[in-house]
Amino acid sequence: MKEEILRIENVIRKVNGITYLDNINFNVFKGEIMGLIPLDNHGKSQLIELILQNVPLHFGRVYFDDQLVNYYEHSSMSKNRVSLLEQDTNLIEDLKVTDNIGVLNQTFHDFIIHNRRLRQETAALLKQLGIVIEIEEYVSELSILEKAIIELIRAALNGAQLIILNELSNFLSIDELSYFQRLLVHYTKQGLSFLYIANHHEEAFKICQRVALFEKGRIIKVISAKDFSTAVLEPYMLTFAHPPTVSEQNNHVGILKCQQLSTANLETLNFSVKKGECLTILDMDNRGIQDLAEIISGYAKPRSGKLIVDGRAIPFTQKRNFLPDGVAYIPENPVQKSLFFNLSYLENLTFLLDRKLDRRIIGKKVLNSIKEEYRNLVGVEIEAPDLWGLEMQSLYNLVYFRLLLYSPEVVFIMQPFSQADMYLRGRIIQLINMFKEKELAVVILAVSISDTLTVTDRLLILEDGKLAPQGGRINFANSD
Amino acid sequence: MHRKKGFYLMDRIFLVFLLMVILLMTLFFCFVPFALKQGTYLLVFLFAFLLATVFYVTYRWIYIPYQESNKTLRLFADGYIFKGVFDLRIHFNHELFLAMQKFREIIDTKELIEGSKKHAEYLALQNQINPHFLYNTLEGIRSEALIEGVEIIANMTEALETFFRYTISDMDKLATLEEEIVNVETYCTIQRFRFGEKIEFKIESPEDHDPEIFHAKIPKLTLQPIVENAVFHGIEPKMGKGLVTLKVLATPSRLLITVSDNGVGMAEEHVHRLNDQLRGASLTYIKKDKETGGIALLNVNNRIKLLFGDEYGMYLYSKAGAGTDVEISLPLIL
């Protein structure tokens, strides 16, 4: 007989008059990894909040460990024994592993911290789990995987009965994810339950016992493991069009060449990209592409090597924007990182244009001409006095369209599909294909292969900072 | 009729009012003259603190429970809840509490359940057919068919007779899950005479399930109307073979039954509207035209909610072209 750890029953949750959860119904059993695939992100954060804390509901009931903890008449605002594990760590980065595990948990009630005992206990715990992490290391020095592991261990020690895993593949590489999933299975055997939120069914199907599809604040389907198949999902999913392949006439060989580039985590990286081509660099251990991203965004210099764009070597000076050299960079989650919400749409669109035009003041005539040109692409949004209230797709349009103004030769995109729902992913694919049609060379830096395959022409695999031998290089342009 | 534990809202209002009167009188007759005479404002600050406490108590003890009770009454008026209105956390006063308890007793009587039972008894009772007359006639047809060697008619009549015997008799009783499943299988046998092998019926339960769950009690005729719905609205309009799957799962407190079909499914708006109706117990649909559809589902859902409470009932997952899943949540009664 299965025991339910979480049961959400007919819950309607409205915030400021907007219905985020609309008659939602689902449950998680003890020791189960329950998948949740959000087809759109509407209501996802409200659902997570509802599971973590007993916040007011418009209607419905929430049961935790078979106890009614929240219902339409009375919401106590108490917290449930649930932990959230996501990209932004909840660990204290300036403390050591032992302190994060042993001291910063609710079971620690001592007045004096016995460092020696803590170290022994932590070491024994990690040994028991077969994990090799330096316990005296500061958390800030750990890799993303190590941080995730420590957070998981801490949550389990804290007595969490359910752990929400929010889009792990956005920050863990394929190898890291598979290691982490083995740890999840270990904890399920101890009765811990997981709500595994993933954007891709391939990822969820591998590890989950059941998967729920979430759209418009409702659960629209619950699928059991034995029914897992792409065919079952077909009526619910968008199928993304295949990318245009590199045209035959495109003979501009290697608009971007990376020669012998070395950093702390990269070893003599060599690759080249043609105009109108999309190359994906898949990093199996999520370190090399971080270094590459720091170089492209001007925050770090390589130890050695060159980046040559259209025959010109780029000088590596720190804190420098490479846009004038024809290299643009779109960071992960660009909306939060590269847009200014209090500025108008046009101001955001023409941001940094002064550098491109090499003028301090940009004339009204130029601005009007840009406005009219982009009005055809984005419509009335071009008149928006600020970015608040714009849809996520419009904000992504702005990030990508803005680059066209600077007419770069090469665009590096870090994890373009990170935290994007199915509809947004479809739009990002269109935008990347637009870059390709405009003859831009696109380099995608990714830790997860999903979706990038729909736009990429070539795939390079980085393992331990080195490109994998020929077997890891797949050409998609000439294959079906 | 027992008295509810704790204070009623009117008691609370009276107590807080009394406290405020005492405080105000103390202020005017003691604190202010004393404080002014002594030239100290310490007691005035103390009084202000007490007053703030009274306001806080008023907010937490009266205002919030008042809002919560109002919200529950509003949800009842809007059709979200049915029995939940009787379980207010804080009742307005004792008389209203007693009236609510009486009202619950009336609701719990058979009259309202009868309303939904009518649909289940539709075939026989609406036409005023005497059940025994029906069984005897069917038995007669079966005997004649066997004598003439037409086995298919004999089998068909036997299935029909078994189905009617179960459907018409002892409507008020709870049946075991096993009996319900047998009835669904009989129904599918009858339907196969019409649809041939187009309909397949399958039962699934977890590998580690307790066989006792098939002896769990559920309201009679819970499953067959849902399977009938799946056959007529899901599988019949579909090209090719149809599969109806019954999944059974038990937790220590609940019995979860899912009836799935791989039929044509439903449009999103229809699913949303039906789920809104299934959320509460309402009898308004009985007056509506039959064409609106989903009456069988609403009927079963109402019976479950009336018998066991608002927290049990049904939920629908469906999409055009992707089949339909009806999830039934019931208390586990062994």
**Are B265 and A2 an interchain contact pair (Cβ–Cβ within 8 Å)?**
no
Give A108-129 pLDDT, tens digit per residue: 877 888 888 888 988 998 898 8
Quote the minimal CA–CA distance from B205 to chain A in Å.
11
**Are A59 and B72 an interchain contact pair (Cβ–Cβ within 8 Å)?**
no
Give the nearest chain A residue to B206 (CA atoms).
A1
- The CATH architecture one would assign to domain B110-331 is 2-Layer Sandwich (3.30)
For residue A50, pLDDT over 80 is answered with yes
Quote the minimal CA–CA distance from B169 to chain A in Å.
32
3-state secondary structure A103-125: HCCCCCCCCCCCHHHHHHHHHHH
Quote the minimal CA–CA distance from A159 to chain B in Å.
22
pLDDT band at B121 (very low <50, low <70, confident <90, very high): low
- Mutation pick from B214, B251, B271 vs chain A, by most beta carbons of A within 10 Å, is B251
Give the start-to-end residue ranges of the domains of chain B. 9-108, 110-331
**What pLDDT score does B111 carry?**
53
B81 chain-A contacts, CB cut-off 8 A: 59, 72
Q: Return d(Cα A250, Cα A244) in angstroms, integer.
A: 13
Query: For A221, which of B210, B275, B317 is closest by C-beta distance?
Result: B317
Give the nearest chain B residue to A66 (CA atoms).
B253
- Mutation pick from A40, A62, A73, A232 vs chain B, by most beta carbons of B within 10 Å, is A73
A73 chain-B contacts, CB cut-off 8 A: 68-69, 71-72, 84, 88-89
Average pLDDT over residues B170-194: 83
Query: For A235, which of B80, B210, B321 is closest by C-beta distance?
Result: B321
Higher pLDDT, residue B134 or B11: B11
- Across-strand partners of A172? none
Quote the minimal CA–CA distance from B300 to chain A in Å.
17
3-state secondary structure B146-160: HHHCCHHHHHHHHHH
- Across-strand partners of A162? A82, A193
**Are B319 and A2 an interchain contact pair (Cβ–Cβ within 8 Å)?**
no
Q: Which residues of A346-385 are buried (b: 16+ CB within 10 A; e: fewer)?
A: bebbbbebeeeeeeeeeeeeeeeebbeebeeebeebbebe
- Mutation pick from B64, B204, B254 vs chain A, by most beta carbons of A within 10 Å, is B254
Quote the minimal CA–CA distance from A391 to chain B in Å.
23
**What pLDDT score does A246 carry?**
45
CA-nearest of A436, A96, A134, A49 to A279 is A436
Average pLDDT over residues B166-187: 81
A4-233 and A256-475: identical CATH topology: yes
**Are A23 and B321 an interchain contact pair (Cβ–Cβ within 8 Å)?**
no
Quote the minimal CA–CA distance from B129 to chain A in Å.
41
The ipTM (two decimal places) reads 0.77
Give the nearest chain A residue to B277 (CA atoms).
A23
Higher pLDDT, residue B132 or A181: A181
**Are B315 and A25 an interchain contact pair (Cβ–Cβ within 8 Å)?**
yes
Give A141-178 pLDDT, tens digit per residue: 888 899 999 999 999 988 899 999 999 988 888 888 99
Surface-to-core class of residue A121, CB atoms within 10 Å of its CB (0-12 exposed, 13-18 middle, 19+ buried): middle
CA-nearest of B233, B228, B218 to B303 is B218
For residue B208, pLDDT over 80 is answered with no
For A4: left if phi > 0, alpha if psi spans -120 to 50, otherwise beta; the answer is beta
- CATH superfamily, region A256-475: P-loop containing nucleotide triphosphate hydrolases (3.40.50.300)
**Are A10 and B315 an interchain contact pair (Cβ–Cβ within 8 Å)?**
yes
Give A384-416 pLDDT, tens digit per residue: 999 998 989 999 999 999 888 888 999 999 999
Give the start-to-end residue ranges of the domains of chain A. 4-233, 256-475
CB pairs under 8 A between A and B: 69
Give the nearest chain A residue to B324 (CA atoms).
A221
- The CATH architecture one would assign to domain A4-233 is 3-Layer(aba) Sandwich (3.40)
Give the nearest chain B residue to A217 (CA atoms).
B272
Quote the minimal CA–CA distance from B151 to chain A in Å.
38
**What pLDDT score does B296 carry?**
79
Give A230-250 pLDDT, tens digit per residue: 888 888 887 665 554 444 444
**What pLDDT score does B115 carry?**
55
B273 Cβ neighbours under 8 A, 6+ residues apart:
none
B244 and B260 Cβ atoms separated by less than 8 Å: yes
Q: Return d(Cα A204, Cα A34) in angstroms, integer.
A: 9
Give B230-249 pLDDT, tens digit per residue: 988 888 888 888 899 999 99
